[in-house]
Amino acid sequence: MDTLVVDHPLVAHKLTTLRDVRTDSPTFRRLTDELVTLLAYEATHDVRVADVTVDTPLMPMTGVQLTRPTPLVVPILRAGLGMLDGMTRLLPTAEVGFLGMARDEETLRPATYADRLPNDLSGRQCYVLDPMLATGGTLAAAMRLLVERGADHVTAICLLAAPEGLRTLAEKVGEPAATLRVVTAAIDDRLNEKGFILPGLGDAGDRLYGSV
């Protein structure tokens, strides 16, 4: 399990504003979109491409284009939806699948309530969108599901990660047949007794969409 913390001044600047309790939901949504685009740029560094010949106005040349099957982007509902536009801005031809997983606040274990993913992901690169890697249970279950369906390269893009969550992923998703990565803006200190990241930024879903 590889972990990449994106060290860039713009990433740090936007993340600091996201953490601020005074940041309202419209601003939070806009900054999340911008931050995910920056993270996605790093996360897609090894996206698969193939050579292709095109005609410029002056002469033919060899360039590259995304291979098929195209990457699959998987936002975990509901908070992952706030990251989707920022990701597809860089990968407009990617397919999008949806996975609904909720964390039981008592047991902290994930439960799947929606699955809109292809049954066969053989040879696919997948990018999972989940703002907060806290206990890691939800993201571990999502990544394990993708690997079980044949994905051979799964990258999780998170705004924040906790050390406990990263350990959970390493323990529960370890799969030699697939390349597994986490790309995040920061690794915070720890989790509190309720499983929230400290210092964190609060509940990402509530701050994106409001509490319902």
Q: Which residues are annotated binding-site positions for 5-phospho-alpha-D-ribose 1-diphosphate? A: 78, 103, 130-138, 203
Could you tell me the CA-to-CA distances from 152 to 5, 75, 167 in Å, in that order? Answer: 22, 18, 21
Six token digits for residue 116: 């809109």
Residue 188: half-sphere exposure toward Cβ, Cα within 13 Å:
24
Annotated binding site for uracil: 197, 202-204
Cα distance between residue 174 and residue 176, in whole Å: 7
In the numeric block, the tokens 């360039």 are attached to 63
Cα distance between residue 203 and residue 58, in whole Å: 53
Q: Give the angle 12-154-13 at the CA atoms, nearest 5°.
A: 5
Task: Report which residue type is found at 58.
Answer: L
Cα distance between residue 16 and residue 148, in whole Å: 36
In the numeric block, the tokens 């940041």 are attached to 23
Annotated binding site: 78, 103, 130-138, 197, 202-204
Six token digits for residue 201: 């930024």
